Amino acid sequence: MTRVPLLAGNWKMHKTVEESRAYARHLIDLLGADPPLGREMVVIPPFLSVWAVCRQFAGTGFQVGAQNLDLGREGAMTGAVSAYHIAEAGARYVIVGHSERRQFFGETDDVVAEKAKAAHAAGLSPIVCIGEREDEFDAGKTEEVLSRQLAPVLAILPATAWERVVVAYEPVWAIGTGRVPTPAQADHLAGFIRQAIFSAVGQTAGAVRILYGGSVSLANIQTFWGMPDIDGALVGGASLKAADFARMAAVPLE
């Protein structure tokens, strides 16, 4: 099954609305109306900028995502933003279960699965983030952790949903640290994730894009992206400059 390579930039809590618009314009200036080499590019700004970046990208091939969603559609939930709102603003993607949400906002594996379901139900593609902490890595528990995090997502989503689901393998110890697993390690784990999805839903697993994330930079992106089971990258800090993000999208793969 062919999988369109995907480069996603997670800005986290960076950039105002005006800065976000300027970034989107800059990306179009640099690359034209479409990402290079038939790849897909997704910019994932803070909520306040989602609509503005969608407007800026109108008529281009660039996509927008949100960094989180809250459950439900509408209601008395002060401060909440639903998948319905994100989709209506024009975004196609939403990150669920980023390790910072798990760590700082107490999101459990089950909540993450519920969010993936809500995203899918609203027509969005969830980017489901999974990954082990450093102590779990040191204890050799990486596969166990990935299986545990994936299980409720596999249980809750219908098999057909997986055509649209993206999984990002992000070792927590690699996020924002400058440390990375070897490309072979990351690829092995991407293969492990694909096998787990295959066991649950069969052939559709071949359509799921699996990204590597954690200290991806212009200097190392090629080594990860070139691996057989890695279909792209979820980039944090190194995506904050449009010029760098544009260059990453154009790296040749062997």
Residues 152/172, Cβ–Cβ less than 8 Å: no
Residues 94/83, Cβ–Cβ less than 8 Å: yes
Interface size with ligand PGA, residues (CB under 6 A): 13
When asked if residue 236 is in the footprint of ligand PGA (CB under 6 A), the reply is yes
Minimum separation from the CB atom of position 22 to ligand PGA (A): 21
Minimum separation from the CB atom of position 49 to ligand PGA (A): 17
DSSP-derived 3-state class of residue 217: coil
When asked if residue 67 is in the footprint of ligand PGA (CB under 6 A), the reply is no
When asked if residue 221 is in the footprint of ligand PGA (CB under 6 A), the reply is no
* H-assigned helices in the chain: 17-31, 47-57, 83-89, 99-104, 109-121, 134-138, 142-156, 183-201, 221-225, 242-249
Q: How many CB atoms lie within 10 A of CB 7?
A: 27
Say whether 98 is catalytic. Answer: yes
When asked if residue 214 is in the footprint of ligand PGA (CB under 6 A), the reply is yes
Structure tokens at 31: 């690359």
| Range in contact with ligand PGA (rule: CB under 6 A) among 114-122, 139-147, 236-244, 246-254 | 236-244
| Range in contact with ligand PGA (rule: CB under 6 A) among 118-126, 155-163, 170-178, 243-251 | 170-178
Sites of contact with ligand PGA (CB under 6 A): 10, 170, 175-176, 213-216, 234-238
